[in-house]
Every structure is written in structure tokens, then in C-alpha cells.
Structure 1
């Protein structure tokens, strides 16, 4: 599902809201999550999961084409851990 599809689905389920308002709400939520992660904060949505940032240390890598050793700088990556309710819902028989 894309962001546009999410907005359409939410607008259909909430006919009392204009689609442009739903779009603002979804965009605001994503922006707030992104801003929190950029600050290094953890975002927890109970039952759904938690977003956090993990640090990857600098290391030596290898260029697959030439085999030459290259330095790979330290970087931060987003990480998502599913919540218990989401895991249970995905794994029901």
C-alpha cells in the first residue's frame, strides 16, 4: 500500500472528512515520526510496533566489481520492531 492508497482508504472509511484533510493528517503523522527519528528519539505505537534508529559503525567494505577495499563511514539507519498484537495478527492460522 502506498501513501496515496492509505489516504484514499482512510477517506473512504471517514466520509465526514475531506480527502485533503486526511492527507494533511497522514503527512503530519509521518513528518512527526521522521522528525522524532532524526532527533534520535524512539516512536512507539502500542500494539503496532516501535520505530528507532540504529547506529552502524564504520567498517572496511569491498567493491564487488574490483575487489578493492573501501572505507564505509558510520551511518544511522531506521529500524522497526513489530508489536505483539501485530505479530499475533500476522501469524494466526
Structure 2
């Protein structure tokens, strides 16, 4: 079973650990994500030391198939975000 960590849960954890108000913690979380988004929209990578790197990649147009109808179609050129975990994160994930 997988669970997701929400923005609100992050803010609550930060508020608890730093002993600041939930409103201040929520503003911090929002600002961090805002800076990350702005950086990636500008085409730059976001490197979080000991966590990983978020990189904007170009995907070329390619032939695909509609799974519902089986019809052949062209998937347009687009950008996507890819995540590469740091060595430390990979090692911790694979310890179990």
C-alpha cells in the first residue's frame, strides 16, 4: 500500500519540527515549490543535495497507438520532468 505526502502534511511536519506556526510553514512549503517550478519552467535543473536532481527533458514526437481504438497517431513533442535520485537516496532505498 502506498501513501502520498501532501503539501499540508509537509507543512505540518515543518511546523512541528521547527516549532513555528502552521501558516508560516505552509508559506515556506509554497515558496520552495514555487521557486522549483520557476526554475524548471526556465529550463534549468533543480539539484537537491543528498536527495536527487529534477531535470527538464525534451521528448521528441513519436508514433503511438490509441489503446482504446487501436488507431495509430503521432504523440507530439513535449517537455517532461525526470528525477534522478542521489547515490545516498538509492543506497538507503536498497538497504531493506
Report the TM-score, using the length of structure 1 for normalisation. 0.91
- 1:65 CA displacement: 2.1
The separation in 1 between residues aligned to 2:94 and 2:61, in whole angstroms, is 36
| Aligned residue number for residue 52 of structure 2 | 49
Runs (4 or more) in structure 1 with deviation over 3 Å come to: none
- Choose from 40, 60, 65 the match for 2:68: 65
Please tell me whether residue 7 in structure 1 is matched to residue 11 in structure 2: yes
Q: Give the gaps of 5 or more residues in structure 2.
A: none
Q: Give the gaps of 5 or more residues in structure 1.
A: none
For residues 1-24 of structure 1, the C-alpha deviation after alignment (integer angstroms, 9 at most, x for no partner) is 111111111111111x11111111
Report the TM-score, using the length of structure 2 for normalisation. 0.88
- 1:81 CA displacement: 0.5
